[in-house]
Amino acid sequence: MGTRRIRPSLPASPRTVAFGTLEVLAAVSIATGAVAALQSTTNPAGLGALYLLAVLEVAIRRGQVAALATALLSVLTLNFFFIAPRYRLAIAHSPDVVELIVFLIAAVVVGRLAATSRWRAAQAESRTQLASAREREATLLAEVASAILAGDKLSAQLQNIGDRVANATGASSARVVLEPEPLRAPGPIVVALRLRESTAWLYVDRDLTWHPDDVQRLSEPLGRLVDLALERERLAEQAAENEATRRAEGARTAILHAISHDLRSPLTAITTASSGLRAAGVTSTERAELRDVIDTEARRLARMVDDLLDLSKIEA
């Protein structure tokens, strides 16, 4: 089984070092005051446990290095002020050495345990924040997807996407623009939305409550949703064109039926009159009437042909 490693901590800032030093001095001072107050009732050597409490407190709050400093300072303070001969540093006896070793071991063990606990707490908080961020992103994408499925026009859908992004991120405004290159205006956060056949850009004002990296992470899923909106727009336009073509074909068919009927009438009259002229026993008056019929229907047929030619020119 492998050994679990604790992630190395970042270098402490000067402010943190200063507060840690003050806390070490305060803990040793409090323990020294307590030993001074109780030394008349018991042997000062037996009051070293008060310094051990100071070491443990600093180890829990400030970590291993501060606890080691507290342990060393505690042993020196106890030896200097309370162990005979007083006001001299003389760590030469076995009890003094044992006491120092115990303090150091306590500082190391408790310091490491406290560091591990703090690291685990930080990891848990980090995972909680990550889960919260993912939940916010999923909620936003679900809202955008439902808005796209509503089937508004493309411009309205893009505006709706921008409004929902602004509302979710807490920004003053956000917008989605279909352009090959981003605008060069300074200020907003610019996120490239890579589409299948073009490029879109998401502009979000910088007063948002989300981290900019969280907004950048929306690039791919928002790009897919914009692709979906473009595809719906294309299919809607294609359906409208197909419907217009179908209606035009229907109108053309109806016109052809009407024209064929109108053309059939003069042709039938001309054919009948021609047959009558070839028949035997037709008087001169009847022949004149038949020729008039042929002439009238021929002119009528010519007008129809001219109208058809004019109509074809208009359609062209």
| Per-residue pLDDT tens digits for 115-173 | 888 888 888 888 888 788 788 888 888 888 887 777 677 788 888 888 888 888 888 88
Q: Decide if 5 is inside a domain.
A: no
Name every residue whose Cβ is closer than 8 Å to that of residue 68 and which is 6 or more positions away in sequence: 104, 107, 108, 111
- Per-residue pLDDT at 286: 78
Taking only the tens place, the pLDDT of each residue in 282-316 is 777 877 887 888 888 888 888 878 777 776 666 55
Taking only the tens place, the pLDDT of each residue in 195-239 is 887 788 888 888 888 888 888 888 888 888 888 888 877 887 788
Q: Both 293 and 220 in a single domain? A: no
Q: What integer best gives the mean pLDDT of the chain?
A: 79
Query: 267 and 260 in contact (C-beta within 8 Å)?
Result: no
pLDDT confidence bin for 6, thresholds 50/70/90: very low
Q: Both 116 and 63 in a single domain? A: yes
Q: Both 18 and 126 in a single domain? A: yes
Q: Decide if 3 is inside a domain.
A: no
Give the CATH number, domain containing residue 174: 3.30.450.40
Q: Both 32 and 100 in a single domain? A: yes
Q: Decide if 146 is inside a domain.
A: yes
Q: Decide if 249 is inside a domain.
A: yes
Q: Both 125 and 19 in a single domain? A: yes
pTM, two decimals, is 0.50
Higher pLDDT among residues 244 and 315, named by residue: 244
Q: Decide if 289 is inside a domain.
A: yes
Q: Which range, of 30-34, 109-113, 254-258, averages the lowest pLDDT? A: 254-258
The total domain count for the chain is 3
Q: Both 168 and 143 in a single domain? A: yes
Residue where one domain finishes, among candidates 81, 103, 130: 130
Q: Both 301 and 286 in a single domain? A: yes
Query: 23 and 61 in contact (C-beta within 8 Å)?
Result: yes
Mean pLDDT score, 1-26: 68
144-151: long-range contacts (C-beta < 8 A, 24 or more apart)? 144/222, 144/225, 145/225, 145/228, 148/225, 148/228, 148/229, 148/232, 151/232, 151/236
Q: Both 21 and 122 in a single domain? A: yes
Q: State the residue range of the domain holding 259.
A: 245-315
Residue where one domain finishes, among candidates 96, 130, 164: 130
Token pair 């309370």 is found at 82
- Per-residue pLDDT at 4: 41
Concatenated DSSP letters for 39-99?
TTTS-GGGGHHHHHHHHHHHHHHH-HHHHHHHHHHHHHHHHHHTSSSTTS----SHHHHHH
Q: Both 95 and 40 in a single domain? A: yes
- Per-residue pLDDT at 105: 82
Give the CATH number, domain containing residue 259: 1.10.287.130
Q: Both 60 and 92 in a single domain? A: yes
Residue 20 has pLDDT above 80, yes or no: yes
> Among residues 232, 55, 52, which one has the least CA distance to residue 153?
232
43: left (phi over 0), alpha (psi -120 to 50) or beta: beta
Q: Decide if 240 is inside a domain.
A: no
Name every residue whose Cβ is closer than 8 Å to that of residue 89 and which is 6 or more positions away in sequence: 76, 79, 80
Q: Both 152 and 226 in a single domain? A: yes
Q: Decide if 239 is inside a domain.
A: no
Residue where one domain finishes, among candidates 233, 260, 284: 233
Taking only the tens place, the pLDDT of each residue in 78-120 is 777 877 667 776 665 656 677 777 777 877 888 788 888 888 8
